[in-house]
Structure 1
Amino acid sequence: MQWTVNGKTIEVTQGNIAAQEDMAAVVNAANAQLVTGGGVAGALHTAAGPELAEAGQKYAPIKPGEAVLTLAFNLPNDAVIHCLGPVYGKDKPEDRLLASCYERALYLAEQEELGSVAFPAISTGVFGYPFDDALDMAVSAVLNKLGGLKHVNTVRFVLFSEQEAEKYREYMDHRIN
C-alpha cells in the first residue's frame, strides 16, 4: 500500500529488507560495531557480502541514534545506511534516539541525492522496543522530515511479518486519511 504526503510516496510492505531491488538505499538496523548480526543486520550482511562489514569498520563504533552510509556491495541498492537504534530500557531517551535514526538516515540519503529509502522496524527485535511505540516514532519522524526533502521521493517501510505490515498500514490510514 502507498500514500502521498507532501508530494512524496510512503509505502508499506511485508518482505525482506535485503531484496528491495527498486530502492536506492536500504537501512540496516545495525549493531554498534557495524558487523554481521541477527535479524536485519544478518540479512543485509549476508546478501551484501563481507565487504559491507569491512566498509563499516572505519565508522565503528557508532552510538545509539547515529547513522552512517556505505556502499551496498552485492545488494541491489546503491547504499546501505546503518543506524544504531536504542536498546529499550537502557539507552535514554529511547524515543529521541529512535527518531534520530530515521531522521539521520533521511538526511544521509538526501545528502547523497538518493531518491528512495527502505526502512526496517528499527529496535523492535532483540533491542526490545515495543512495536507499536516504535511504529509511532518511525512514522512521525519520517512525516516530520518529508516536506524538507528535495531528492528523497519514496520511503518504504519493510516489515518482517504480514501482521507487522498490517499494523503499519492501519496506522498510516489513520494518520494520513
Structure 2
Amino acid sequence: MWRPGFAYLGVRPGTLHGWHRSFSIYTTHYRGTPARPGLVLGLDRGGSCRGLAFQVAAGERAATLAYLRERELITHVYLERMVPVVTGQGTVSAVTYVVDPRHEQYAGKLPFDEQVRLIAGAEGIAGRNRDYLAATVAELDRLAIADSLIHRLHKAVEAVPEEQPLGDRPVTHLGDD
C-alpha cells in the first residue's frame, strides 16, 4: 500500500470484503531473522479491509505481475488471488496476495503482547520491523483509514525502548485512545 514498487496509471480507494489486514505472518527475511522473527501484514480470512486498488497499463501487466510475484512469493506464505474490490466508481477485479494458513510462517492470531514483543525486537534486510509498522500507520493515517488495532499496536511498540527489546517479558496493554 505504501510502497507499490511498480508504475501505475491510477489508484482508487477500495474495500475488500471477506479478508482483513492482520500481523499474521512471521518474517525471517525482510523485517526479521530466523533467530529474531518479526511480523508482517497479511490478508487473513474474515471481515473486510479498506485499501487501494492500482490500475496498471495493459502493456505493463505481465511485468508488474512478475515483479509482484518475485517480491511477494519468496516463501509462498501468500497465495495470489483475483478478488473483487468495491470502489467509489464500481467494483473492479484486482490481484492480491492473501495469507496461506497452512504455511509454516503463518502466525495466526497471536496475543497482543506477543505481537508487540516480536515487532519491537526484529530487524531484517529491509530494516526494523517497528519501522514497517510505523510506515503502515503513517499510510493508513494519510488515507484516513481507521484501524484501531494497528494504531494500538504501534503505540505499544513505540513504548518499548529501541535499545532494549522485550525478550520474553510481558507487555503492558495500552488502552485505545
Instruction: Provide the TM-score with structure 2 as the length reference.
Output: 0.29
Higher normalized helix content (fraction of residues): 1
Q: Which protein is bigger by CA-based radius of gyration?
A: 2
Instruction: Provide the TM-score with structure 1 as the length reference.
Output: 0.29
**Higher normalized contact order (CA 8 Å, seq sep 6+, divided by chain length):** 1
